[in-house]
Structure 1
Amino acid sequence: MDLLLLSYAGVTSKEYLALENNGWISPELKRKTAYAETLDRAEILAELEQKNIGYITHEHRLYPHLLKEIYDFPYILYYRGDPGLLGENMLGVVGSRKATDYTKKSLKLLLPSLENIAIISGLAYGADEAAHRIAISNNMKTIGVLAFGHDTHYPKTTADIRIEMEKNHLTISEYPPGTSIQKWQFVARNRIIAGCARGVLVTEAEEKSGSLITLEMALDDNRNVYCLPGNITSALSKGTNLRIKEGASAVTNAQDIQRDFD
């Protein structure tokens, strides 16, 4: 199977697993695989080169070994930047899009003290943006996981750091360049953040939050999970405080994270 052509035909990670494991092949998957056979590989490669986009499959030596451990791992990753960063020890940082100054101040305290750790996040507004910016300003490596193809960007507030990251750091996506924004892809993106990381830190999160979905994914993948303890009167701390009560590690200094990476 040509994984690049399957990707351009829209074959999902779960559909790929069905192909690999001789599982049930749906009519839709049959349609996609038939369409893949009509695609021009040379034309696709020329497009990727013109857009300065590389790709690796799950069989490539640079593919993150931790990511390959998750059930529905992406069988292909498109990238701009330095794919060598996929071999770094990564800390996932996620949190509310409505993150307060508490997130920024905490990350400014924690991240610069971490050693030999790259920051992976989703290039979203709020906690993600703060994590990427603070990592860059402190000469740490950072990786952004896109929930769409490399031809698209969202939100506008992170457009400038994405340019910087694609020059000196890394952005990755499981989707071909032309893939537009769809809501379900943001949840799917979170499994890549959790899967690549050795641990995931949630800064602020409401009781029902997408960030906590990422934390649950990290737990399912047997990763370390960390939360910032917060003000009990803040709605943005209800989710993190609850997860700490349930067993997540409370983070009050960088060593609370670093000791799990050393």
Structure 2
Amino acid sequence: MNDFILLKMRWIGYTTQHIHHLLNVFPKFFNVNEHVQFEMINEWESLYLKKKRFTQLEEISYDYIQTQLSRSQVNYVTSFSSQYPPLLKTIYDYPFILFYRGNIHLLSSTYTLGVVGSREATHYSKCALDYLFPHFINIPLTIVSGLAKGADSIAHQFALKHHLPTIAVLGFGHLNHYPKETRKLRNIIEETGLVISEYPPLTKINKYQFPERNRLISGLSRGVLITEAKIKSGSQITIDCALDQNRNVYVLPGSMFNPLTKGNLLRAQEGAMIVSEAEDILYDYRFLNN
């Protein structure tokens, strides 16, 4: 029952933040029947939301949504499912639903490493990841990133090259894509890895959704590695999320002369682990196994 109400709410436009707020107002929302849940939503919406969606919620059917999902070849998992990643559920604003294409079992990966960096990533990022990733096979680490140009796509590509599982996190619905340069890569990951989004399939591309996406990259990961990042960048937002979520932060060594690694140097000064060998990361992951 809770799966159904969550799916319907997200489908018609209630956000993750809306549902968290609803739970703050009605902490027992998930412990009552559907009729009472609708009464709670109606009361909550009338008090707190300008845009009213309750009529849509009453009218839309679960079967209609399931048909649309089937046509889109998109599945979903809710926070009530045993397949929902327990690590992600520890963050304070976790999504109640993840829409996905690919191998859902990757969400159960114990050892996950987020990789972020500049969209203008240089040969340095490629060489570094190509050097590090073969050492991760025996664990194996699952590589999590955001399928953007630059460091994200490099991380996914080298994960595939070295036969590491990889999860791509979208900042929009599955029936859209951005940027076009990573479309073919996404197709491959949907076949061999996992592509997830907290947004229903038709959700368009909006700038504010990418920082929301970044918290999922770190939320799914035991640690996050910066390859190259400016001081002000989307990667820094992901690292801020990682720190808030009590995740380990790793950085490749940076040059004082390279603007793309100024962010690396800053994070190293703040206490991030500088990675010069794979063992710098593997030591922490072995500790998690004890």
Q: TM-score range by the shorter chain?
A: over 0.9
Where 1:59 maps in the other structure, the secondary structure is coil
Query: Which residue is equivalent to 1:82?
Result: 103
Partner of residue 92 from structure 1, selected from 93, 114, 117: 114
Return the offset for 1:49. Answer: 1.1
Give me the whole-angstrom Cα distance separating, in 2, the residues matched to 1:136 and 1:228.
Answer: 21
Partner of residue 250 from structure 1, selected from 274, 278, 284: 274
Q: Tell me, yes or no, if structure 1 residue 236 matches structure 2 residue 260.
A: yes
Where 1:84 maps in the other structure, the secondary structure is helix
Runs of 4+ in 1 over 6 A off after TM superposition: none
Q: Which whole-Å deviations, capped at 9, do the CAs of 1:74-109 have from their partners, x for residues lacking one?
A: 110000001100011210000000111101110101
TM-score for the superposition, normalised by structure 2: 0.87
Deviates more, 1:178-187 or 1:14-23: 14-23
Give me the whole-angstrom Cα distance separating, in 1, the residues matched to 2:142 and 2:259.
Answer: 29
Give me the whole-angstrom Cα distance separating, in 2, the residues matched to 1:13 and 1:180.
Answer: 16
Check whether the contact 1:11–1:29 (CA below 8 A) recurs between aligned residues. Answer: no
Give me the whole-angstrom Cα distance separating, in 1, the residues matched to 2:73 and 2:241.
Answer: 31
Give me the whole-angstrom Cα distance separating, in 1, the residues matched to 2:16 and 2:119.
Answer: 27
Higher-Rg member (1/2): 2
Count how many residue pairs are aligned between Structure 1 and Structure 2. 262
Q: Which whole-Å deviations, capped at 9, do the CAs of 1:154-195 have from their partners, x for residues lacking one?
A: 111111111111111100000111000000000000000010
Q: Which whole-Å deviations, capped at 9, do the CAs of 1:118-171 have from their partners, x for residues lacking one?
A: 000000000000000000011110000000000001111111111111111100
Deviates more, 1:29-38 or 1:117-126: 29-38
Query: Which residue is equivalent to 1:134?
Result: 158
Deviates more, 1:16-25 or 1:114-123: 16-25
Where 1:212 maps in the other structure, the secondary structure is helix
Give me the whole-angstrom Cα distance separating, in 2, the residues matched to 1:27 and 1:125.
Answer: 38
Partner of residue 233 from structure 2, selected from 178, 191, 209: 209
Where 1:31 maps in the other structure, the secondary structure is coil
Check whether the contact 1:15–1:29 (CA below 8 A) recurs between aligned residues. Answer: no
Deviates more, 1:106-115 or 1:24-33: 24-33
The one-letter code matched in structure 1 to 2:265 is N
Query: Which residue is equivalent to 2:285?
Result: 261
Q: Which runs of 5+ in 2 are unaligned?
A: 27-43
Where 2:208 maps in the other structure, the secondary structure is helix
RMSD over aligned Cα atoms: 1.3
Q: How much identity, in percent, do the aligned residues show?
A: 47
Q: Which runs of 5+ in 1 are unaligned?
A: none
The one-letter code matched in structure 2 to 1:111 is F
Partner of residue 204 from structure 2, selected from 164, 180, 196: 180
